[in-house]
């Protein structure tokens, strides 16, 4: 009887306050969660995780030695993918990141190009920015990936020393020169020689991911990179 009443209450609550898809803003069905099934099928996937010669991988050629780079979605302005990222980054909808991580992790399992990874590490926020925002959106994406891939998640070893705002007036060359001043590793032994899946929400120029990768490469790490979307 109590279970029946609870179901009725939930149905009534959802009628008044329907759960909405983070991509299309339409009401979710009972068996749907965060992103509706229709959007999961129709969102513009890159399939870069299946292609060693993908365009995003080439962005890092000659800049930093990475094993593989991929993004789940193509990003365009005023698109459903932009809505997802806005929900994750600015609307406190952290579950969007975890959901996408779970979905992408299941697809990465079927790619031989993302094999034998030891640990998942999100690009860190500077403590000041983390305090302002309240959470690291890339960490929630990494959490979903770690769960679906069944790999360790490490959110403490890699850290950001310098707020990105203080780097904006520097040239790309100067930022690269000072990469050791931007990111650091707290426990060197924890990561030395590991195969690392480095993750972020969006990749544009790749400068931030390059900076993280450069520091981790000094520890003899193999670096794999994935993001939610690429511009």
Give the residues of the chain that fall short of pLDDT 70.
1-17, 164-180
Domain limits at 199?
Answer: 44-230
Same domain, 163 and 184: yes
Same domain, 27 and 114: no
Q: Please tell me whether residues 188 and 204 are part of one structural domain.
A: yes
Residue 11 has what pLDDT?
53
Residues 32 and 51 in one domain: no
Task: Give the pairing type, strands 158-160 and 183-185.
Answer: antiparallel
pLDDT of 230: 97
pTM attached to this predicted model: 0.88
Residue showing tokens 């959470």: 135
Do residues 38 and 73 share a domain?
no
- Mark whether 32 and 57 lie in a shared domain: no
Is 48 found in the same domain as 38? no
pLDDT in tens, 162-199: 876 544 455 655 555 555 578 999 989 999 999 999 99
Do residue 2 and residue 72 come from a single domain?
no
Per-residue pLDDT at 181: 75
């Amino acid at each position: 009887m109590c279970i029946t009443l609870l179901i009725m209450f939930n149905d009534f609550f959802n009628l008044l306050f329907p759960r909405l898809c983070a991509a299309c803003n339409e009401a979710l069905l009972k068996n749907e969660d965060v992103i509706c099934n229709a959007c999961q099928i129709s969102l513009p996937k890159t399939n870069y995780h299946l292609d060693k010669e993908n365009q995003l991988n080439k962005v890092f050629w000659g800049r930093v030695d990475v094993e593989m780079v991929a993004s789940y979605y193509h990003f365009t302005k005023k698109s459903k993918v932009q809505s997802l990222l806005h929900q994750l980054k600015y609307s406190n909808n952290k579950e969007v990141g975890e959901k996408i991580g779970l979905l992408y992790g299941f697809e990465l399992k079927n790619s031989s190009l993302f094999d034998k990874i030891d640990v998942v590490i999100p690009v860190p926020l500077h403590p000041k920015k983390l305090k302002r925002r309240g959470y690291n959106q890339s960490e929630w994406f990494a959490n979903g990936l770690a769960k679906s891939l069944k790999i360790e998640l490490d959110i403490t070893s890699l850290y950001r020393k310098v707020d990105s705002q203080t780097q904006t007036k520097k040239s790309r060359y100067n930022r690269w020169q000072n990469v050791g001043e931007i990111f650091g590793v707290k426990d060197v032994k924890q990561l030395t020689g590991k195969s690392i899946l480095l993750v972020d929400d969006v990749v544009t120029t790749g400068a931030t991911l390059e900076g993280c990768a450069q520091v981790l490469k000094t520890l003899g790490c193999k670096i794999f990179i994935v993001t939610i979307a690429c511009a």
